Amino acid sequence: MTGAPHSGSSTVPTGAMVVSGIGVMTPRGERPQDAARTVRPAEPADWFDHRTRLGPRGYKYLPAASQYFLAAAKEALADARDEEDRRPGELRGAAVGTNSSAAALHEAMDRTVLAEGAGALSPVTAPYFSINLFGSRLATEHGLKAFNITVTSPRVAGLESLETGARAVAAGRASWLLAGATEEALDPVHPGHEHSERGAVALVLEPLEAVRARAGRAYGHCRVSSLFLPPRTVAEGRGAERARQLIGSALAAWGADAAPAPRVIAVLDESPVGRAVATALGPAAEPVPAGAGALEPLVQAAGALAELSAPVLVATAAAQGNLALALLTPPSDRPAGPAARTTHTKRTTTTRESS
């Protein structure tokens, strides 16, 4: 499914589900708290090895973004103790958001066709010309048969994967969801390549009762709303006012418009739309520079969930007018406050090649 800008709000009742597993695979770290740091360390060139993350065979020729997402999903499933879940594949769905997963592959394919002809294209990577293959590969890997959805809306696609997947769950198509975002660096010929993102975040969402039944960890509820702030409205000087209305309506629908206000993380760029949303959120919002793709909002959500003790609002927007909000709240059976704080500890699921 390719996301498109739309007017109004689509508030999905995801509160009945909780995040039970978190997987993060980025050059900035694999613990969600580390990846979400706003002061970012230099990215090591050798930060990812598919052989140790996924296994020595079967993954070498996959596009990097597919490898990243499979590795993040593996971590999320281990964190959720998914091996103890006996839910059939027909009740398990997948959703992925991305903006640039296939961009580098498309550039390489174009060069190959121009230099050698279409016959020289690799039969292993050629199917990934279709952006849907990134989600489909994940679904095939883990037997997720209820649905698999790919969302590509600029900047907000990762959060929209949670929203769209939860909508399918609410409609009865599944009772379990693996959703997230994955990105690969842009080719230098693309505008914005200096803000490229690489890596993936995967979250497992399921009913709180199912997590309790196997003594799993419930990080928190995740409610997502996608909206649209017309750039024309921003150009007319009414952007901040309209953004304030949209955000207020979403919070009111969630019952989160009363004090105390949630902590706000604003993942925004310097576009007119980004500046209008920043004004609407106010000076208390914690600014995080947006990347070129849809990964950073999910990185920030994962970092907040890993240590969630009070409500957190993650907001992001794109120059095209896409706006998305994610409200993260502690599980309904656990009171908010310092005593409820937990720290995500990375589980080791590394597979090493035998000699």
Q: Which of 186, 213, 240 is the last residue of a domain?
A: 213
Same domain? For 170 and 308 the reply is: no
Q: Say which CATH number the domain at 320 has.
A: 3.40.47.10
Provide the H-helix boundaries in 154-271: 157-170, 208-213, 231-235, 239-253
Residue 351 lies in a domain: no
Q: How many domains does the chain have?
A: 2
Question: 107-141: per-residue pLDDT in tens?
Answer: 889 999 999 999 999 888 888 989 999 999 999 99
**CA-based torsion, 3, 331, 175, 78: positive or negative:** positive
* pLDDT at 42 (0 to 100): 67
Cα 167 to Cα 176: distance, rounded to the nearest angstrom: 12
Please check the confidence at residue 81 and state whether its pLDDT lies above 70. Answer: yes
Same domain? For 157 and 54 the reply is: yes
* Average pLDDT estimate for 76-98: 89
Same domain? For 115 and 154 the reply is: yes
Same domain? For 77 and 191 the reply is: yes
Same domain? For 252 and 189 the reply is: no
Q: Which domain holds residue 42?
A: 9-213
* pLDDT at 17 (0 to 100): 87
Please check the confidence at residue 150 and state whether its pLDDT lies above 50. Answer: yes
Same domain? For 314 and 167 the reply is: no
* Average pLDDT estimate for 238-251: 97
Please check the confidence at residue 25 and state whether its pLDDT lies above 80. Answer: yes
Cis preceding-peptide flag for 260 (omega within 30 of 0) = yes
Label residue 49 by pLDDT band (50, 70, 90).
very high
pLDDT higher at 102 or 202: 202
Q: Which of 213, 247, 262 is the last residue of a domain?
A: 213
Please check the confidence at residue 221 and state whether its pLDDT lies above 90. Answer: yes
Mean model confidence pLDDT for the chain: 87
pTM score, whole prediction = 0.88
Pairing of strands 220-228, 263-268: unpaired
* pLDDT at 7 (0 to 100): 37
Same domain? For 248 and 314 the reply is: yes
Task: Please answer whether residues 166 and 93 qualify as being in contact, where contact means their C-beta atoms are separated by less than 8 angstroms.
Answer: no
Q: Which of 178, 213, 248 is the last residue of a domain?
A: 213
Same domain? For 172 and 250 the reply is: no
246 three-state secondary structure: helix
Please check the confidence at residue 235 and state whether its pLDDT lies above 90. Answer: yes
pLDDT higher at 331 or 6: 331
Q: Is 184 left (phi over 0), alpha (psi -120 to 50) or beta?
A: beta
